[in-house]
Amino acid sequence: MRIRLMKPWLFIMPALLIYLTVIFVPSLYTLYLSFFNWNGVAPTKQFVGFRNYADLIFRDSVFLKALANNILWTIGSLTIIMGIGLMLALLLNKKIKGRIVFRGIFYFPFVLSGVIVATIWTWMYNPMQGFVNKLLESIGLENWALAWLAEPKIALYAVFVAAIWHGVGQPLVLFLAGLQTIPQDPYEAAVIDGAKPYQMFWNISLPLLRETFVIVVAITMVSSMKVYDIVYAMTGGGPAESTHVLASWMYFQTFKFANIGIGSAISMFLIFITMIVIIPYVYYTTKKSHV
Amino acid sequence: MIGMLRYALLTILAVVFLIPIVFIAFTSLKSNADLLTNPFYALPEKFEWGNYAKAWEQGRLSMYMKNTALIAFIKVPLGILIEAFAAYALTRMVFKGSNLMFAFFLVGMMVPMQATLVPLNIFLNNTGLVNTYPGIILVYIGFGVPFGILILRGFFRTIPKEIDEAALIDGCGDVGKFFRIILPLSMPAIATLFIFDFMATWNEFLLAQIFITSDSMRTITTGLLAFRGEHSTNYTLLNAGVLISVVPILLVYLAFQKYFVSGLAGSVKG
């Protein structure tokens, strides 16, 4: 009897132990560290309560800039990346010739690492030899040529363009999968009733894509809060700290400036914001699956 | 008419999407003199394949790729096995709190890696695992657990329970059932997870950046960044290096495109 009760735990144990070691216990310890002032090597940590959090909000202008950048990034992803993804999915949701090739082209950048995408686009933006400035020059707009990644007001948008190229494939594939689950009957009925294509999109496709929208919005928001690789590898948070996001600022505070407490507090903000997105999502999906 | 418009739009967008790849390919095949004097859209005067040989040797890219492949080929199967064991218990062995256990694993998907870095660094330092492959593999497996269990549990649930009873009558224990029935039946899900996990491991940057400190052990992401730093002004060589690191991904992508697409679409249906 005892062995039978133990058995499931024997199967779960390896996953559980590694999960506790790598994710669960460390994140609790990070929560603990966020209440201390510590440089990572000193034998004693100084308890400071919520001061790290307060310092971030009231004294750290880069933190606020990074938070604003994350919000801007999220808005851009939810409108531009999701919008282009949906548009491409609608264009590809017909049995047309070369459909697989088109899908392959739009989706391919998504399987590249952020570092590769960043390196490719840093070259595209190269002030002297890069594609962007060369193209502007060749069509007579050389006044528009800029050092794209060196302008504090523009750099973040330049990085975001690279992120569009990188990320459009994900919503595209998800929307395409969603569109393919919609049955043909409502469209046929609508055609008989004389509906226009945009009416069919608005009144049939969009409502029936609600499930897919929930998924895409949740994934997009969470990955926008976590964005790191592409920013770090394109600008390193510069110029003049203008392109920092929470994840990159956390890295700098922790591993460059040895402000462990501050860095830990930033990660707690990250967890907190992510939870605000995920908890309603999990609640929504689990409630659905029981019905 | 609408069909034509659709094609025109798709073609224009496809061309725009291909520009960055074509541009690095052109640059990588030019000589430095050609790059400076001829227009950016021109084909290379002479194809400088030598750039690739140089980038391959000087950039130590081959070493970085070998390192990454080693890590991924250990991490991915081992991780899937561990996740499959857990998913088996969660779907095939009824026990108190199994749903709670599943929810507990899912919480891990909420935690950004950043929130674990300092404690993990302390842990790896204390156990002597920092800057070792066992160390990074352990960490990678840990971060793969929630997603892997989500996918495999979802698939295992679709395998009918009658099979369990048949196996029981045939005298199959849980271990036998796991290896001889559930795993073989789950091959489609496992293949998808394998490809997905492999790419995620291949592309991982943050953890590799922090937990692998010596150059000879670097993976391809951090290695490419180092390569970029060393050759930041030799554009032709740099772009040859970038293309070299794109090619293996392109090949895997072309071979397994089906899995990438179904994996992404399937992962969220759960």
- Min Cα–Cα distance to chain A from B107, Å: 9
Contact B241, B252 (CB under 8 A): no
Give pLDDT, residue A52.
Answer: 96
> Which of residues 55 through 74 in chain B touch A, CB cutoff 8 A?
none
- Min Cα–Cα distance to chain A from B81, Å: 9
Contacts of A179 in chain B (CB under 8 A): none
Q: Which residues of B25-57 are buried (b: 16+ CB within 10 A; e: fewer)?
A: bbbbbbbeebbeeeebeeebeeebeebbebbee
> Which of residues 154 through 173 in chain A touch B, CB cutoff 8 A?
165, 170, 173
> Which of residues 181 through 200 in chain A touch B, CB cutoff 8 A?
197
Contacts of A1 in chain B (CB under 8 A): none
Contacts of A114 in chain B (CB under 8 A): 203, 205, 221
Contact A165, B17 (CB under 8 A): yes
| pLDDT > 90: percent of chain B | 49
- Of B118, B127, B206, which to mutate for an interface test with A (greatest number of A Cβ within 10 Å)? B118
- Min Cα–Cα distance to chain B from A10, Å: 9
Q: pLDDT 10s per residue in chain A (291 long)?
A: 566 678 889 999 999 999 999 999 999 999 999 999 999 888 899 999 999 999 999 999 999 999 999 999 999 999 999 999 999 999 998 888 888 899 999 999 999 999 999 999 999 999 988 999 999 998 988 888 889 999 999 999 999 999 999 999 999 999 998 998 888 888 889 989 888 888 888 888 888 898 889 889 988 999 999 999 999 999 999 899 999 999 999 999 999 999 999 999 999 999 999 888 888 887 777 676 554
Q: Is B10 on the interface with A (CB under 8 A)?
A: yes
Give domain limits for chain A. Answer: 46-290
Closest CA to B196 of B268, B148, B242, B255: B148
Closest CA to A20 of B146, B200, B147, B211: B146
Contact A164, A172 (CB under 8 A): no
- Min Cα–Cα distance to chain B from A157, Å: 17
β-pairing, A36-37 with A46-47?
antiparallel
Superfamily of chain region B59-267:
MetI-like (1.10.3720.10)
Q: Is A91 on the interface with B (CB under 8 A)?
A: yes
- Min Cα–Cα distance to chain B from A15, Å: 6
Q: What are the phi and psi torsion angles at A79 (to 5°)? A: -95, -60
Q: What average pLDDT values come out for chain B (270 residues) when binned by 10 residues?
A: 86 95 92 84 85 85 93 96 96 86 89 93 95 96 94 90 83 87 90 89 94 93 90 87 89 82 58
Q: In CATH, what number does A46-290 get?
A: 1.10.3720.10
Q: Is A273 on the interface with B (CB under 8 A)?
A: no
The count of residues in chain B is 270
- Of A24, A63, A119, which to mutate for an interface test with B (greatest number of B Cβ within 10 Å)? A119
Distant-in-sequence, close-in-space partners of A19: CB < 8 Å, separation ≥ 6: B105, B108, B142, B145, B146
Q: Is B80 on the interface with A (CB under 8 A)?
A: no
Q: Is B268 on the interface with A (CB under 8 A)?
A: yes
Q: Do B88 and A11 touch (CB under 8 A)?
A: yes
Give domain limits for chain B. Answer: 2-48, 59-267
- Round to whole Å and give the CA distance between A111 and A266: 28
Distant-in-sequence, close-in-space partners of A257: CB < 8 Å, separation ≥ 6: none
Distance of CA A53 to the CA centre of its chain: 24
Contacts of B89 in chain A (CB under 8 A): 7-9, 11-12
The interface pTM score, or ipTM, of the predicted complex is 0.90
Contacts of B118 in chain A (CB under 8 A): 26, 29-30, 33, 40, 254, 260, 263-264
Contacts of B3 in chain A (CB under 8 A): 96
Q: Is A14 on the interface with B (CB under 8 A)?
A: yes
Q: Do B115 and A27 touch (CB under 8 A)?
A: yes
Which amino acid does the sequence have at B28?
S
DSSP state of B59: T
